[in-house]
A and B are shown apart, each in its own frame.
Chain A
Amino acid sequence: MEATTPPPAVSIRDLWKRFGAQTAVAGLSLDLPAGSFIGLVGPNGAGKTTTLSMVTGLLRPDRGTVLVHGADVWQDPVAVKARIGILPEGLRMFERLSGRELLRFNGRLRGLPGPETDRRAEELLAVLDLTGSADKLVADYSTGMRKKIGLAAALLHNPDVLFLDEPFEGVDPVSAQTIRGVLTRYAASGSTVVFSSHVMELVESLCDWVAVVNAGQVVAAGPTEQVRGGTSLHQAFLGLVGVREDDGNALDWLGGGQR
């Protein structure tokens, strides 16, 4: 792992989480450099979501420490949550609020002054192309709109670090482009973005730093250039997590018109 000169935005040490007989995260350690656009990649079930949940104070780890800009997440979750933005996968929201109301309540519950909250909410709605549906209930939003309103709620308090779990999953290209634009702008201002994905092309084009997770551990981490080592990130990733060869005559009934 690369030693960074400025203090890392997020520092994870020996993180463990077990669900019953299954170990989701097995002693994961990682330093995420501040001011970077960071991709957390790995196959399904690698422990990305579990890791992000533990890093953001949503899931208590069995063991290990997480520091966000030096503050221990599990010592003082409230202080850390005030400084970070989170867009979890399958985020539970107040379905019976409109998009605009959701943002307004979110800001007030975060202790932002009312008028400032409302001003920011309107700007975010406009930038994320949600103004037209701002008065619809969240329950009636499409997947892309839900991700966008979730992103707006995560950005409302101008966090230092933004964590996104699969922000592009199930999102149409137009909404995806909007989200990309907002994220790029936010990262360019010196803030840190951490997002998980298994779409390598996306990570390669957006991220300047990647960490590859497999079976609950980090198998590679560093600047994107360095991790992919001359090939595409896609190739490097398949090499790192190991690809299964297809075995013998499995599925030999498939195709060919037989029933």
Chain B
Amino acid sequence: MSAAPADDRATAPDPAADRAVVRALVALKLRLLRNGLRRSRGLAVGYVLGLLIGLLFGLSGALGLVVLHGRAGAADAAAVLVTGLTVCWAAMPLFFFSSDESADPTRLTVLPLRESVLLRGTLLGGLVGPGPLINLLLLVGAAVAAGRGAASAAVAVLAVPLVLLTLVALIRSVGAANARMLSSRRGKDFAIFGGLLFAVLAQAGNLGLQSTLNGSGRGIDLSVLHPYASVVRWIPPVAAIDAVRSAGEGAYAVAAGQLLLTAGVLVLLLRWWLRSLRELMVSGDSSTLLESSSTASARAEGLWRLLPAGRVGTVAQRHLRYAWREPRAKAAVFTGIGMTAVFAVLSVVQGWGSVYVIAIGGMMLGLQSGNLFGMDGSGFWMVAATLGTRRDARDELRGRVLAITLYAVPVLLLFGPPVAALTGDWADLAPALGLALAVLGTALGLGCVLSVLAPYALPADGNPMRNAAPGQNGAVMLNAFGSMVGVAVLCLPVGALLGFLLLGHHPSWPLLPAGALYGAGLALLGIRLAAGRLLGRAPEILAKVIER
């Protein structure tokens, strides 16, 4: 260490020094990106693969838009696409926040960074990476589709970077506001909202795509987009892309207005972001504060007594408490319920409604047993330390499955009648419930086996919408997808029975008890198989579920 001259400290604003700091922040983002991949080769391969697919997607999307150039409705398509992009970017931090460490200002709190410099550096850092590149491709495509002539081209040169900047500001400001909220107790309640929002967004995207593609059987019909486009073209940043169209049609004043509107929103977003940053950097994390709701828990005390005594009841109680208190568990439960609800409503709206959609609820809720110990995290050692015999292991799994059953079965029973009423399909209610219970039980059983054989770590930060530690996203996706297919295959006998009953015009109600029995049987079988391995694998599971 050497004695430094006193003048090398950042004190008064100095443009050159600021630029150097901004450069360092951008370089930091790049370095973090590279080092994240350095940790494992599988990760790097997955990343490159994802990048290629993303680029392919962006490129084909852009080409598709370019092909539309000059066709009727091309500008509408561009506007709707940019709307979709905007919604995705706004929603993304709610689900994937802080997989980008460089966007996390709490790591920079000890540094003497002026907010404006921090803002510039993080904004520019946000422009680096595959996401913005894919967006740039799509935006250029949208501008080409919407434009006509030299005036359009001139506006596009302004509009595309403006939209891209606005999108980055959007993702960062929502992320910062989200982090601020999650560091408080309110984050827990946000989890419910987040779960429902995710369900709605996923289905809305699905619906939009279908209505465009189905059109009238003559390939792509863009006219359905017009009513939407005529509204969203006034909403920034879509307005900036629509300015390209306005300029092409000679409405220069309108184009200027649309550009200004977007610029105004960009400024507002930056201010909002700045405020969140300022707040985040000087407030403690209050999420660990004790709740003073002893009266509520005293009232609940009576209900817990209904659970069986011993390990099963204790485990079930703990699991249920976690489902309510742990934001991530809460979000998962409400995503499952929300998905089922949205699916049911959409199926009715789209006219293919059937009471059998409640089986999806059985799948969603049952698969929540897919990573039972990941939710425990490092706390799993407490469980592992008390697992002495095979019986302990079986009781541990039984307790957890009981807990999920305690909310999953009522949810399914509650969902059935309204869906039957909406579809007028009362005759199929009983077999549909039977199928749903079979699926639920199968998913629970398979989930137990997967929990023991393929556990994965949840990230240590408190974000309820992230369900995989950095670098494990691929494994989680594979797990989720694989288990869905597995459940479907394992439920084939029930499906076959249903087909037999329906096609043979036999009464179908026996599927209700049969499905319930089948589900219970497979759940118990899964527990038995999983318990056999749980004892021996406890150390491996513990090593896996701790995030490193």
| A residues in contact (CB < 8 Å) with B | 19-22, 50, 53, 56-60, 77-83, 86, 88, 91-98, 101, 105-106, 108-113, 116, 119-120, 123-124, 127, 137, 139-140, 153-155, 157-158, 182, 185-186, 189
Q: Compute how far the CA of A82 lies from the CA of B36 in the bound complex, rounded to whole angstroms.
A: 29
A78 touches B21 (CB 8 A): no
Give the chain A neighbours of B20 by CB distance below 8 A: 108, 111
Distance to closest chain B CB from A96 (angstroms) = 4
Inter-chain contacts of A113 with B (CB < 8 A): 8
Bound: A112/B20 CA distance, A: 9
Instruction: Kindly identify, within residues 1 to 23 of chain B, every residue whose CB is under 8 Å from any CB belonging to chain A.
Output: 1-4, 8-11, 14, 17, 20-21, 23
A81 touches B35 (CB 8 A): no
B213 CB to closest chain A CB (Å) equals: 41
User: Looking at the complex, which one of A50, A97, A109 makes contact with B25 (CB distance below 8 Å)?
Assistant: A109
A106 to B4, CA, bound (A): 16
From B4, B112, B282, contact of A78 by CB (8 A): B112
Q: Which chain B residues border A106 with CB–CB below 8 Å?
A: 111
B284 contacts which of A59, A80, A112, A120 (Cβ < 8 Å)?
A59
* 12 additional contacts (CB under 8 A) given A22-B289, A101-B35, A109-B113: A77-B282, A92-B106, A94-B32, A96-B35, A96-B39, A97-B35, A108-B20, A108-B23, A108-B24, A116-B4, A137-B38, A155-B1
| Whole-angstrom CA separation of A128 from B283 in the bound complex | 31
**Pairwise interchain contact B1-A120, C-beta atoms closer than 8 A:** yes
B292 and A21 contacting across the interface, CB-CB below 8 Å: yes
Residue of A nearest to B288 (CB): A19
A94 contact set on B, CB distance < 8 A: 28, 32, 101-102, 107
19 A-B residue pairs with CB within 8 Å: A19-B286, A19-B289, A20-B292, A59-B283, A77-B112, A79-B112, A86-B110, A88-B110, A92-B106, A97-B32, A105-B28, A108-B21, A109-B24, A111-B14, A111-B21, A116-B4, A153-B110, A158-B4, A185-B1
Q: Which residues from B are CB-within-8-Å of A124?
A: 1
Check B1–A127 contact: CB distance below 8 A.
yes
How many interface residues does B have (CB within 8 Å)? Answer: 44
Give the residue of B10, B14, B107, B282 whose beta carbon is less than 8 angstroms from that of A59: B282
Question: How far is the CB of A98 from the nearest CB of chain B, in Å?
Answer: 7
- Whether A81 pairs with B284 at a CB distance below 8 angstroms is no
| Whole-angstrom distance between the Cβ of B62 and the nearest chain A Cβ | 31
Q: Does B480 contact A (CB under 8 A)?
A: no
Is B109 in contact with chain A by the CB < 8 A criterion?
A: yes
* Separation of A33 and B134 alpha carbons in the complex (Å): 57
Chain A residues lying within 8 Å of B32, measured Cβ to Cβ, are 94, 96-97
Contact B31 A95 (CB under 8 A): no
Please, how many angstroms separate the alpha-carbon atoms of A91 and B107 in the complex?
Answer: 8
Q: How far is the CA of A56 from the CA of B28 in the complex (A)?
A: 24
Q: Is the beta-carbon distance between B35 and A98 smaller than 8 angstroms?
A: yes
Whether the Cβ atoms of A123 and B31 lie closer than 8 Å is no
B108 CB–A CB distance under 8 Å: yes
A95-B101, A112-B8, A137-B35 as given contacts; A78 in contact with B114, CB under 8 Å: yes
Bound-complex Cα distance A132 to B28 (A): 23
Evaluate contact between A109 and B108: CB separation under 8 angstroms. yes
B55 interface residue per 8 A CB criterion: no
Classify the interface of chain B: helix, strand, loop or mixed: loop
CB distance from B135 to the nearest CB of A (A): 24
> A58 contacts B35, CB within 8 Å?
no
CB neighbors of A among B273-290 (8 A): 281-284, 286, 289-290
In the bound assembly, the distance between CA atoms of A116 and B286 in angstroms comes to 39
Contacts of B299 in A (CB 8 A): none
Q: Which residue of B23, B107, B112 contacts A92 across the interface (Cβ within 8 Å)? A: B107
| Other-chain residue from A77, A83, A154, A186 in contact with B9 (beta carbon distance below 8 A) | A83
What sequence of 0s and 1s flags, for each residue 250-284 of chain B, a beta carbon within 8 Å of any chain A beta carbon?
00000000000000000000000000000001111
A-B contact count (CB 8 A): 127
| Residue B27, interface by CB 8 Å | yes
Q: B548 an interface residue at 8 Å Cβ cutoff?
A: yes
Interchain CA distance A247-B265 in the complex, whole Å? 65
- The CA of A82 and the CA of B110, in the complex, are separated in Å by 9
B113 near A101: Cβ-Cβ < 8 Å: no
Which chain B positions have C-beta within 8 A of A60? 282-283
Contacts of A20 in B (CB 8 A): 286, 289-290, 292
Q: How far is the CA of A101 from the CA of B36 in the complex (A)?
A: 13
Determine the distance from Cα of A110 to Cα of B101 in the docked complex, in whole angstroms.
Answer: 18
| CB proximity of B302 to chain A, nearest CB, Å | 27
Report how far A139 CA is from B13 CA in the complex, Å: 34
Distance (whole angstroms) from the CB of B379 to the closest CB of chain A:
18
Nearest-CB distance from B291 to chain A (Å)?
Answer: 9
- 7 tightest Cβ-Cβ pairs between the two chains A and B: A111-B10, A81-B112, A82-B112, A108-B24, A158-B4, A60-B282, A96-B35
A98 CA / B39 CA spacing, docked (Å): 11
- Interface pair B39/A137, CB less than 8 Å apart: yes
Known A59-B283, A82-B9: A110·B111 in contact at CB below 8 Å: yes
A159 to B39 alpha-carbon distance, docked (Å): 34
Which chain B residues border A95 with CB–CB below 8 Å? 101
A185 nearest CB neighbor, chain B only: B1
Please tell me if the beta carbons of A82 and B10 are within 8 angstroms of each other in the complex: yes
- The complex places the Cα of A95 from the Cα of B31 at a distance, in Å, of 12
A221 to B10, CA, bound (A): 33
Cα(A171)–Cα(B109), bound, Å:
24
Residue of A whose beta carbon sits closest to that of B104: A92
Q: Which residue of the partner chain B has the closest CB to A153? A: B110
Chain A's closest residue to B106 (CB) is A92
Q: How far is the CA of A116 from the CA of B10 in the complex (A)?
A: 14
A90 (CB) vs chain B CBs: closest residue: B285
Rounded to whole Å, the gap between the CB of A141 and the closest CB of chain B is 11
Chain A residues near B113: list those with CB within 8 A. Answer: 78, 109
Q: Is the CB of A157 within 8 A of B9?
A: yes
> Cβ of B27: which chain A residues have Cβ within 8 Å of it?
105, 108
With both beta carbons as reference points, the residue of chain B lying nearest to A159 in the complex is identified as B9
Q: Which B residues are CB-close (under 8 A) to A22?
A: 289-290
Whole-angstrom CA separation of A56 from B111 in the bound complex: 11
Residues of A within 8 A of B104 (CB): 92
The 8 A CB mask of B199-211 against A (1 = contact, 0 = none) is 0000000000000
Q: B2, A123: Cβ atoms under 8 Å?
A: yes
Q: A residues within 8 A CB of B284?
A: 19, 50, 53, 59
The smallest C-beta distance from B365 to any residue of chain A, in angstroms, reads 34
A80 nearest CB neighbor, chain B only = B112
Please, which residues of chain A bring their CB within 8 A of the CB of B38?
137
* Nearest CB in chain B to that of A96: its residue: B35
CA distance A163 to B290 in the complex (A): 28
Interface residues of B in 84-123 (CB under 8 A from A): 101-102, 104, 106-114
- Complex Cα distance, B5 from A101, in Å, reads 23
What separation, in Å, do the CA atoms of A56 and B35 have in the docked complex? 30
List the B side residues contacting A96 at CB < 8 Å. 32, 35-36, 39, 101
**Among residues 124 to 181 in chain B, which have CB atoms less than 8 Å away from a CB atom of chain A?**
none
For A189, give the chain B residue with the smallest CB separation.
B3
Is there an interface contact between B10 and A58, defined as CB atoms closer than 8 Å? no
